[in-house]
Amino acid sequence: MTPRSKNGKPTMRDVAARAGVSSMTVSRVLRDDPRISESTRRDVLGAVAALGYRINENARALRLGQGTRLVALMVTNLANPFYSRLALGVESELERQGLFTVVANTADSETKERALTTDFVGRRVEGLIVVPAGEDHTHLRAEHTAGTPAVLVARPPVGHGADCVLVDDFGGGRALAGRLLDEGHRRIAFLGNAEAVYTTAERLRGFLAAHDEAGLRHDPALVRHGGTDPAEALGAAAELLATGPTAVVTANNRNTLAVLRAAKASGARVAVAGFDDVDTADLLDAPLTVAAYDAQEVGRRAARMLLERLDTQASPPAPRTSVVPVEIRTYEGAARG
């Protein structure tokens, strides 16, 4: 019996009818227009409560020509703590500007990323923050996003200019290898992962640069790539240890743990230095060196870049890149006798 619009929710007209006024009056009451009589206001609010009416912000925004105040964040793997911290950083920074964050997972699929981008642009999100899944970034170019600005994270734009926040992958890889070389290691293996193409490549490049700078040639047989799967990573780590390195540099958390496990299982004694901090590192059995960086800060910077772009949409300056530093930390492992 209650009058309802198609989608099942009452409309302003329903409220107006019940209160015996026009929908304009309802609109005014809801927006606290001062020139409304107390009695009318009461009647309207009564009808609102009775019907459980909530204004339709989408219709309102359409009429007002306003934006959605929505920003879409697309990450490759939400289960990875790096991305959840990233999301938190983005969210916290956007929230203070009254913007909402829509988080979507691309599961490392370029196809999904493209589909999501199209959808989000269609929904008129005000901006995109993306950890690109692949190398093809055409769908992120302004021509394809109807001008919706995009900020890339962790991987630089390919084939076009775009704002972007990176981690100092090269510097971190170089520093990790440098540490080990300083400690006298000469047979240092590298365990990366094939998916994170850019990231791993940079970290490896830094690793090799440190060898160059030390005047050493690096044995390519000591470089290996684990997969996305922890089990795969463990296998790769075991193989790598079998080649007899005295130390290993890893390109991410998963690989770091894989090496520690493989070493524990085989009883091999290797120094381990890897990317991403391990939050229980101080409680581990074995010593560990890590290249740590602030994932939340990455998110905050990306958000800020987007906000600046939104402010200046009329006269966009050149695309900018921001590089978040990494910090080397060492943990001693369990104190033994």
Partner DNA sequence: CTGTTAGCGCTTTCAG
Partner DNA sequence: CTGAAAGCGCTAACAG
- Which residues of the chain form contacts with a second copy (CB under 8 A)? 5-10, 52-59, 61-62, 65-68, 70, 78-79, 81, 83-85, 87-88, 91-92, 95, 100-105, 118-119, 121-124, 142-147, 257, 260-261, 264, 278-280, 282-286, 296, 313, 333-334
Minimum distance, C-beta of residue 51 to DNA, in the bound complex (Å): 11
Q: Which region, judged by CB under 7 A, interacts with DNA, from 28-36, 176-184, 259-267, 271-279?
A: 28-36
Taking CB under 7 A as the criterion, which residues in 48-77 touch DNA?
Answer: 55-56, 59-60, 62-65
Binding of residue 25 to DNA (CB under 7 A) = yes
Strands lying side by side in the sheet with 150-153 = 100-105, 70-75, 127-130, 150-153, 163-167, 321-324
- Nearer residue to DNA within complex by CB, 31 or 186: 31
SS3 per-residue string spanning 84-151? HHHHHHHHHHHHCCCCEEEEEECCCCHHHHHHHHHHHHHCCCCEEEECCCCCCCHHHCCCCCCCCCEE
160 neighbors 214 (Cβ within 8 angstroms): no
- Nearer residue to a second copy within complex by CB, 54 or 186: 54
Instruction: Report the amino acid identity of residue 86.
Output: L
- Nearer residue to a second copy within complex by CB, 6 or 217: 6
- Nearer residue to DNA within complex by CB, 50 or 194: 50
Minimum distance, C-beta of residue 45 to DNA, in the bound complex (Å): 12
- Nearer residue to DNA within complex by CB, 121 or 241: 121
Convert 175-201 to b/e letters by CB count within 10 Å (16 or more is b). bbbbbbbeeebeebbbbbbebbeebbe
Query: If we measure between CA atoms, which residue out of 316, 321, 271, 324 comes closest to residue 296?
Result: 324
Q: How far is CA 171 from the centre of its chain?
A: 21
256 neighbors 278 (Cβ within 8 angstroms): yes
- Kindly state the DSSP code that residue 247 receives in the 8-state scheme: E
Q: Which region, judged by CB under 7 A, interacts with DNA, from 18-26, 81-89, 181-189, 213-221?
A: 18-26
Question: What are the residues binding DNA (CB under 7 A)?
Answer: 5-7, 11-13, 21-25, 27-28, 30-31, 33-37, 39-41, 55-56, 59-60, 62-65
